[in-house]
Amino acid sequence: MREYLANKNSHIQSSKNHNLDSKTTTTFEPKNSKNHSSNSNLYSKNPNFKEQNIESKILSAAHFYASKWEFDIIYHFNPKLYDMENIKRIIDAQNESFYDLEGMKNAILYSDLREVLGMFAELRFQKRWSQTPRIPQTSVLGHMLIVAISAFLLSCDLNVCEQMRLNHFFGGLFHDLPEVLTRDIISPIKRSVKGLDGIIKGIEKEEMESKILSRLPEFIARDIRFWSENEFANRVILGDCVRCDIESSEIFSRYNENEYRPVCGELLKFCDKLSAFLEARISIAHGLSSPDLLSGSLEIYEQLKDKKINGMDVGFLLKEFM
């Protein structure tokens, strides 16, 4: 985690020292972008594909399903564009090759599951800091991924049990899921009226149950409910009950075992604020600033600069970017 953010910081520092005139634009492209098409077919063209493990096949299926979801939007509005029908046949054939996976087959067969997946994907169109111009813009979906990765890497540094690492990743990945229904309500608004945050939480829970969780198989709904409700609470599962009144010190000392399915909500909250801090500081470093970005990043920095979790100094991560 330290090495990853140090490399990120060196990029920001170099951008601070790079003078840009008004006519200059910079385009960032992945290395070896010319090979992107061939890389996307990594699994489907591999002669040993059938012998690959199930995780690789699921990952490949998810990649092609997401590609089809994106293409269907384009196809809906531009069905007459050149070669559209041929591209559609290729993408459909790629997805059909994964019908032996139960989840892929169900996503095609059942409209409820398809619609829920589509709702999740819509978070890529919801912008963070929607009233504040930033470079680069980030989506709620991208923010959730950053929180998930940060939480997982810090969990590895903390040497927690495997189940806690997984819960931190998925907890980060789903922590803003209710925003697909309520949209992104910024924290200052939630704090502006006493009790408003609790009211919003109640609405989110009700909407999640009626519009998302009720349309999913119970074993999936149960996990998503665990990861998305009380997302920043320290919690464990004791028997059939979820306890959310656990001190973070107890999470690491007493419940750091797979059987308890522990979650350190304090860690997820830190990663959530870290992501917001980085979004603000990266935009400032790229030359697009505002009072909201400056005050927001400074407020988060003051809150977290001396933060420790289970004795580990995590506040240093923010100091690298000030």
Given pLDDT bands bounded at 50, 70 and 90, which one contains residue 239?
Answer: confident
Residue keyed to tokens 């350190």 = 264
Residue type, 311: G
Task: Report pTM.
Answer: 0.78
Amino acid at 281: R
Q: Count other Cβ atoms within 10 Å, centred on residue 7.
A: 9
CB atoms < 10 A from the CB of 115, how many? Answer: 13
Q: How many angstroms separate the Cα of 229 from the Cα of each of 167, 208, 272? A: 13, 10, 15
Q: What residues does 263 pair with on adjacent strands?
A: 235
Q: How many CB atoms lie within 10 A of CB 238?
A: 13
**Backbone angles phi and psi of 140, in degrees to 5:** -60, -40
* DSSP category for residue 312: E
* pLDDT tens-place string over residues 60-109: 999 999 999 999 999 999 999 999 999 999 999 998 999 999 999 898 88
Per-residue pLDDT tens for 13-30?
Answer: 544 444 434 333 333 333
Over residues 115-136, mean pLDDT: 89
pLDDT averaged over the chain? 84
pLDDT in tens, 181-195: 877 666 666 666 777
The C-alpha atoms of residue 146 and residue 317 are separated, in whole angstroms, by 14
Q: Which percentage of the chain shows pLDDT scores above 90? A: 60
pLDDT at 40: 39
β-strands 308-309, 312-313: how paired?
antiparallel
Look at residue 286 and tell me whether its pLDDT is greater than 80: yes
